[in-house]
Amino acid sequence: MALTVQITPTQPLQADVSTSTKSQEQVGNNLLLYPGEPGEFLVTLSNSTTNILQWKLEIEGNFPNDWCNPNQINFEEIASNQKREFTISLMVPENFFEDSRNINTNQPCLQIDYQMQISIYAMQTGYEPRIVKYQVLNLFVRPNISYLDFLPTIYQEVDFVGRLVGIFEQAFDPAVQTIDTLWAYLDPLTAPSALQNFLAQWVAWDIDNRWDIDKQRQLIRNAITIYRWHGTRYGLRLYLHLYTGLPLNEDVPEVDKHISIQEVFNNGFVMGKTLIGEDSMIGGGHPYHFIVRLRPTESLQLDEGLLREIIEQQKPAFSTYELSILSL
């Protein structure tokens, strides 16, 4: 019977965590477990025979039963010349170090080192099952505290030291992480919502509650650009683009843009040489007049009152305008 079995921890322990395991072979049988995080090892079965084999996995150890997924109840088949891989997971409760039930009168010290015995049986039709693989894994439960890595090995194994160092890490790490990601707090697109008003005051931008939070972030981020181009066609189109989400279409003709701003240069009724519809218009003649045309999609709902407020804020005070929202 040739059923090859390989058991590989996916998170091998470093050689200097346990003083009792110094050889490379022993270190390969170690598994480091963090409370609240899964610890896994990969089991690979290979059937190199021409027959169908049946296999079964059994797990024992001095660790709590609820840490590991249950054993197989029945044998399973593996076909000829086939390979099968599966993962066995262990999960230490997140409150392992805080749970007082882990310490009792019979065990005054918290146990943080355990052993797991893995047995794999194989059976061929007409034969009795026999064990083909037996492996012992050392399980080391440690707090996920990076500060411990800077201590000598002898102190890393002391639970009290780990708890004490954990207090300092929990106190200082948030400040360190904030400094490392300070740029994200100063960018309106990534800053927490509570900082939006603060960032808006930096650029003297008035928050309008009619805008959703994502559009407000875009406005605050582009406030300086809007100020710079205030009173221009580009500035108005950019503002309308941020509100509506319609594309700017810089490379297409004005009449085909989703946000079109057309200035009217025609004169009113002219006595003399003129071409109606080209350089003059009957009843017209508004100086400094422009037309805003929007071509929204079917699903886009626009607030015409807010659109007119945007135009009034951005246009020169002496100019007049018309707003046209085209339907598809």
- The DSSP bridge pattern shows strands 130-141 and 259-264 to be unpaired
Least confident span in 97-111, 141-155, 197-211, 239-253: 97-111
DSSP one-letter code for 278: T
**Predicted confidence (pLDDT) per residue in 119-171, tens digit:** 888 887 777 788 888 888 888 888 776 788 788 888 888 888 888 888 888 88
Bridge partners, 9 (sequence order): 41
pLDDT of residue 27: 45
Average pLDDT over the chain reads 79
Q: How confident is the model at residue 113 (pLDDT cuts 50, 70, 90)?
A: confident
pLDDT of residue 22: 37
Compute how many other C-beta atoms are within 10 angstroms of the C-beta atom of residue 90. Answer: 22
Residues 231, 259: Cα–Cα separation, whole Å: 16
pLDDT surpassing 70 at residue 1: no
Residues 165, 128: Cα–Cα separation, whole Å: 54
pLDDT of residue 213: 87
Q: How confident is the model at residue 220 (pLDDT cuts 50, 70, 90)?
A: very high
Least confident span in 1-15, 144-158, 243-257: 1-15
Bridge partners, 123 (sequence order): 54
Mean pLDDT, rounded, for 98-119: 74
Q: Please tell me which residue, 268 or 88, carries the higher pLDDT value.
A: 88
Q: Taking the domains of the chain in order of start, what are their residue ranges?
A: 3-144, 145-180, 249-328
Residues 294, 323: Cα–Cα separation, whole Å: 8
Bridge partners, 131 (sequence order): 121
pLDDT of residue 282: 55
- Retrieve residue 146's tokens: 């990076």
Q: Please tell me which residue, 275 or 225, carries the higher pLDDT value.
A: 225
Mean pLDDT, rounded, for 197-222: 89
Helices (H), the chain: 24-27, 153-156, 159-180, 182-186, 196-202, 213-221, 223-228, 233-244, 304-314
pLDDT of residue 15: 43
Residues 2, 49: Cα–Cα separation, whole Å: 6
- Retrieve residue 55's tokens: 């296999």
The CATH superfamily holding the domain 3-144 is Immunoglobulins (2.60.40.10)
Q: Please tell me which residue, 238 or 276, carries the higher pLDDT value.
A: 238
225 contacts: CB under 8 Å, gap ≥ 6: 235, 238
pLDDT of residue 100: 64
Q: pTM value?
A: 0.45
- Retrieve residue 313's tokens: 């804020």
Compute how many other C-beta atoms are within 10 angstroms of the C-beta atom of residue 77. Answer: 12
Least confident span in 22-26, 27-31, 205-209, 271-275: 22-26
pLDDT of residue 33: 85
Bridge partners, 6 (sequence order): 44
Q: How confident is the model at residue 223 (pLDDT cuts 50, 70, 90)?
A: very high
Closest CA to 315 of 289, 287, 281: 289
Residues 270, 285: Cα–Cα separation, whole Å: 10
Compute how many other C-beta atoms are within 10 angstroms of the C-beta atom of residue 66. Answer: 10
Q: Where are the beta strands (DSSP E) in the chain?
A: 3-9, 30-33, 38-47, 53-61, 76-78, 83-91, 113-123, 130-141, 259-264, 289-294, 320-325
pLDDT of residue 14: 47
Mean pLDDT, rounded, for 306-320: 89
pLDDT surpassing 70 at residue 107: no
Cα separations in angstroms, 155 against 16, 17, 144, 164, 172: 12, 10, 15, 11, 21
Tell me the backbone φ, ψ of residue 60, rounded to 5 degrees. Answer: -135, 165
pLDDT of residue 5: 77
pLDDT of residue 91: 87
